[in-house]
Structure 1
Amino acid sequence: MMDILGQGAATASAADDVIKDVSEATFMADVVDASMTVPVIVDFWAPWCGPCKTLGPALEAAVTAAGGAVKMAKVNVDENQMIAGQMRVQSIPTVYAFWQGQPVDGFQGALPPSEIEAFVARVVEAGGGAMPDGGLADALIAAEEMLAEGDAASAVETFAAIAEQDPENAEAFGGLARSYLALAQVDQAEAVINGVPEAISAAAEIEAVRAQIELARQAENAGPVAELRAAVEADPDNHQARLDLAQALHGADQLEEAVNELLELFRRDREWNEGAAKTQLFTIFEALKPNDPVVLNGRRKLSSMIFA
Structure 2
Amino acid sequence: MIELGGSQSQPQGGGSEHIKDVSEMTFMQDVVEASQQVPVIVDFWAPWCGPCKTLGPMLEDAVKAANGAVKMAKVNVDEAQQIAAQLRIQSIPTVYAFYQGQPIDGFQGAVSQSEIKAFVDRVAQQGGGAAGDSSNGLDDALAAAEEMREAGQTDDALQIYQAVLGEDEKNPRAYAGIVATLIEMGDVDKAEAVLNGAPAEIATTPELEAAHAQIALARQAENAGPLADLQTKVEADPSDHQARYDYALALQAAGRTEEAVDQLLELFRRDRTWNDEAAKTQLFTVFDALKPNDPIVLNGRRKLSSMIFA
TM-score range, shorter chain: 0.7 to 0.9
Q: Would you say 1:169 and 2:171 are equivalent positions?
A: yes
Aligned 8 A contact 1:263 1:277 in 2: yes
Residue 259 in 1 paired to residue 261 in 2? yes
The verdict on how the C-alpha distance between 1:219 and 1:132 changes in structure 2, with shifts beyond 3 A counting, is farther
Q: Which runs of 5+ in 2 are unaligned?
A: 1-14, 125-129
How far residue 129 of structure 1 moved from its aligned partner, in angstroms, is 3.1
For the structure 1 residues 107 and 241, does the alpha-carbon distance in structure 2 shift closer, same or farther, using more than 3 Å as the test?
A: closer
The one-letter code matched in structure 2 to 1:246 is: A
Aligned residue identity for 1:74: V
Q: Does 1:278 align with 2:277?
A: no
Judged with a 3 Å threshold, the aligned counterparts in structure 2 of structure 1 residues 202 and 36 are, in CA distance, closer, same or farther, namely farther
Distance 1:281 1:161, change over 3 A: same
Summarize the alignment of residues 105-144 of structure 1 with structure 2, pairs less than 5 Å apart: 124-126=120-122, 127=124, 128-131=130-133, 133-144=135-146
SS in 1 for 2:91: coil
Q: Deviations over 1:60-116 (max 9, x none)?
A: x987995463131525445328638943325xxx462537722257659xxxxxxx9
The structure 1 segments of at least 4 consecutive aligned residues displaced by more than 6 Å after TM superposition are 61-65, 118-123
CA deviation map 1:123-181 (0-9, x unaligned): 65452333564322222122122112211111111101211321111111001111111
Equivalent position amino acid for 1:103 in 2: G
Matches of 1:230 and 1:37 in 2, distance apart?
43
1:190 aligns with 2:189: no
- Conserved 8 A contact 2:118-2:206: no
> Match of 1:96?
95
Q: Which amino acid aligns with 2:307?
A: M
Which of 210, 216, 223 lines up with 2:218 in the alignment? 216
Distance 1:142 1:82, change over 3 A: closer
> Residues 173 and 76 of structure 1: is their aligned pair in 2 closer, same or farther, counting only changes over 3 Å?
same
What is the letter of the counterpart of residue 233 of structure 1?
A: E
2:43 equivalent in structure 1: 42
Asked if the contact 1:35/1:98 (under 8 Å) is kept, the reply is: no
Relative to the length of structure 1, the TM-score reads 0.74
Aligned-partner Cα distance in 2 for 1:175–1:69: 26
Identity %: 40
Aligned amino acid, residue 230 of structure 1 = T
Tell whether the 8 Å contact from 1:35 to 1:101 is kept in structure 2 after alignment: no
- Name the CA distance, whole Å, in 2 between partners of 1:132 and 1:121: 15
Residue 300 of structure 1 deviates from its aligned partner by: 0.7
Out of 153, 156, 164, the position equivalent to 2:155 is 153
State the match for 2:6 in structure 1: none
Deviations along 1:188-241, whole A, 9 cap, x unmatched?
Answer: 211111111111111111110111111111112112222101101111111110
Aligned residue type for 1:70: K
Contact in 2 for aligned 1:36/1:101 (Cα 8 Å): no
Equivalent pair of 1:44/1:84 in contact (CA under 8 Å): no
Query: Match for residue 113 of structure 1?
Result: none
**Structure 1 contact 34–40 (Cα < 8 Å) conserved:** no
Distance (whole Å) between structure 2 residues aligned to residue 230 and residue 75 of structure 1: 51
Q: Which amino acid aligns with 1:40?
A: I
Equivalent position amino acid for 1:257 in 2: E
> Aligned residues, how many?
277
**Alignment match, 2:201:** 199
Change (3 A) 1:80 1:152: same
